[in-house]
Amino acid sequence: MPPRSPAEDRAAADSDTAAAGREQTRQRVIEAAIGLLEREGRDAVTTRAVAVAAGVQAPAIYRLFGDKNGLLEAVAEYGFAAFLAAKHVDPDPQDPVEDLKAGWDLAVEFGLANPALYTLMYSEPGNATSAAFTAGMEILMGRIRRLAAGGWLRVDEQLAATLIHATARGAVLTWLSLPEDERNPALLTALRTAMVTAVTNQQPAVRDAGPAGAARALRAALPEQTTLSSAEQQLLREWLDRLAADG
């Protein structure tokens, strides 16, 4: 490939500068929208109000986000990304049950610290397809697979993920719905305890030779083994799914 001419270099530099400028403007608009959301609620997040708060013209918002819904989707994605950045991932925790509790606590603490943003994040089903949300769920599934591999998991992995996610979200939204003088921290403790009881065994099932727990543990370890062919792994997973469902 021949070297670029000076004119092409200048054009490339101008393009990079323009892209950086657009990204800075986009970030400023999102932060302005979050400020309005937290101070005045979702109804206050209009394109006109956000444009004024961000110091841009309203047409810029339409160019960057398409419409108000696109802006709100970007705000929700920003929230998921911020939550993801706050997560600490230990690939080999000493106690996977305590690791689960810590992850649940972090999710609840984020929601209580960012009530309006959290409510927006979980108010639209479509937000569950965002890249940051998906990455966060992968972290949760990693925690669940470690529980399963150690024999701690009491239920199916997908059900465990649903229970963990639902109890954390329910804890936050219930807490926020209560008058401040009725917000008892014991509520959060009780909900976390109920989640742990529903999802985990008191002792690793593999020690007790329970077939369902042993099946979950073996299924969680399957991605790490390479002896079986893909077809054999698929067949084994089907068998393990049936055994795990009996627990």
**78-98 pLDDT per residue, tens:** 999 999 888 777 778 889 999
Residues 93 and 198 in one domain: yes
Mean pLDDT of 185-197: 95
Within a domain: 243: no
Same domain, 21 and 105: no
112: tokens are 């209580």
Question: Is 111 part of a structural domain of the chain?
Answer: yes
How many distinct structural domains can be found in the chain?
2
Provide the CATH number for the domain around residue 45: 1.10.10
Q: What confidence tier does 231 reach under pLDDT thresholds 50, 70, 90?
A: confident
Do 89 and 58 reside in the same domain of the chain? no
> For 169-196, what is the mean pLDDT?
95
In this structure, the answer to whether residues 140 and 35 fall within a common structural domain is no
Question: Above 60 in pLDDT, residue 13?
Answer: no
CA 21 to chain centre: 29
Q: Which of 197, 134, 191, 111 has its CA nearest to residue 160? A: 197
Structure tokens at 233: 């792994």
Q: Are residues 21 and 113 located together in one domain of the fold?
A: no
**For the whole prediction, is pTM greater than 0.95?**
no
- The pLDDT > 90 percentage for the chain reads 51
Going by pLDDT thresholds of 50, 70 and 90, the confidence category of residue 123 is: confident
Task: Check which CATH number belongs to the domain holding 166 and give it.
Answer: 1.10.357.10
Q: Could you list the residue range(s) of the whole structural domain that residue 38 is in?
A: 15-66
47 in any annotated domain: yes
